[in-house]
Amino acid sequence: MDRIRIVGGSKLNGTIAISGAKNAALPLMIAALLTEETLILDNVPRLADVAQLQRILGNHGVDIMSAGKRPGDGQYQGQTLHISAANIIDTTAPYELVSKMRASFWVIAPLLARMHEAKVSLPGGCAIGTRPVDLLIMALEKLGAELAIDGGYVVAKAPGGLRGAAIDFPKVTVSGTHVALMAATLAKGTTSITNAACEPEITDVADCLNKMGARITGAGTPRIIIEGVEKLHGARHTVLPDRIEAGTYAMAVAMTGGDVQLSGARPELLQSALDVLAQAGAVISVNKDGIRIARNGARIKPVTVSTAPFPGFPTDLQAQLMALMACAGGSSQITETIFENRFMHVQELARFGARISLDGETATIDGTAKLRGAPVMATDLRASVSLVIAGLAAEGETMVNRVYHLDRGFERLEEKLSGCGALIQRISD
């Protein structure tokens, strides 16, 4: 199993190209099931989760062609996928595929909308809390689906097709909003989704669905209206840049010092995180190529932050911020309001000498002037990269084990960091 070795203490200087967003690419790939024509997606990141979803879609009979680099392509441009679901040969998504990645459960929505049936295993994925699928099931039932849970599978039928309905989520849910959005595009009549998630990835999927002939308004606001259409057609769409990746590298630069251009990053997608970094003492400037971040010797300042749905501070950057605050001059507090199990990185950060105490959903971090390298273990996708950030700033050598979590969400992490002067390498056993 691969490991990542880091020798800390080097400042980061240079340019990092931001990849396409994993959290948009996955639902966009799933949306291809809604049409028999080809959906072309540009700027798809090369990630383990994308490869896994290609296998899941292949199981349904979907043909996926990955186009290689073209003349004039930049070094880090994402891949182009041509996805054709002309003939769906199987409406079952089996446990051995779905158990590896939660988002694959979402295939239930387009299969139900287009084929009027689906049998999908209950999901797996990161071990960060229960993240139940009850709100997704509620949304599909509102649209007229008949659902039963049998032997660990959700068996769904909509004999006459789905029907438009009013879906009011009791709490903001990104996965529920994605599922409701996809299912409603082919439902008869009008669907309204209230208390919808406002994340940029929802807007990106809605933009793509509209290019495919859907009639969606209000995406990016808490109320989305979908006028059902009879069928969707093919389209071409570019995946938006990954705000979590951009925020992660921004925190790495704030941690180590230095000056890095985040090429392709869009500030409006992560303004709350940039505001927190500015409070912490990073210097942030926006330019035509993206975001530039620097820290020139001043000590990191402590901050108080609560995670919140977009446009609030993202839960997916909480672990990275905690690593940064481990070196702040003073005491910081981070409250996690989204996922109940999302502090598994605390004991691993403590191995570097970080001083973190937990009280329910709030972590108090007493900054220390020096972290020391240590062997650590990745527990989930975002937590694992917080260990990399800590390792970049720590004295001596850090070995991050179980890096397959990193490969699920960060494209060529060690390449991008070593290109800016980090001493980091992958070790394959």
Q: Which residues are identified as catalytic?
A: 126
Question: Does the annotation place 131 within a ligand binding site?
Answer: yes
The answer to whether the beta carbons of residues 6 and 395 sit under 8 Å apart is no
CA distance 151 to 362: 37
Q: Using alpha carbons only, give the angle 161, 163, 168 rounded to the nearest 5 degrees.
A: 135
Q: Output b/e per residue, 241-272; b: 16+ Cβ within 10 A.
A: bbbbbbbbbbbbbbbbbbbbbbbbbbbebbeb
Is 30 within any annotated ligand binding site? no
Q: Is 289 annotated as a binding residue?
A: no
Reduced to 3 states (helix: H, G, I; strand: E, B; else coil), residue 65 is strand
Phi, psi of 168 (to 5 degrees): -115, 105
CA nearest to 267, candidates 15, 11, 18, 13? 18
18 is in an annotated binding site: no
C-alpha 41 chain-centroid distance: 17
Rounded distance, CA 403 to CA 412, Å? Answer: 12
Is 2 annotated as contributing to ligand binding? no
3 is in an annotated binding site: no
Residue type, 133: V
Q: Which DSSP state fits 19? A: P
CA 142, 147, 148, 150 dihedral sign is negative
Q: Is 134 annotated as a binding residue?
A: yes
Q: Measured in whole angstroms, how far is the alpha carbon of residue 184 from the centre of its chain? A: 23
Is 22 known to sit in a ligand binding site? Answer: yes
Is 132 labelled a binding residue?
Answer: yes
Find the helix packing angle between 174-185 and 200-211, rounded to 10°. 10
Give the up-direction half-sphere exposure of residue 328: CA atoms within 13 A in the CB hemisphere.
26
> Is 23 one of the annotated binding-site residues?
yes
Q: In what order do the strands lie in the sheet with 235-238?
A: 63-67, 79-84, 38-44, 235-238
d(CA 337, CA 324): 19
- 3-state SS class at 95: helix
Instruction: State the binding site for UDP-N-acetyl-alpha-D-glucosamine.
Output: 102, 131-135, 316, 338
The binding site consists of 22-23, 102, 131-135, 316, 338
Binding-site residues for phosphoenolpyruvate sit at 22-23
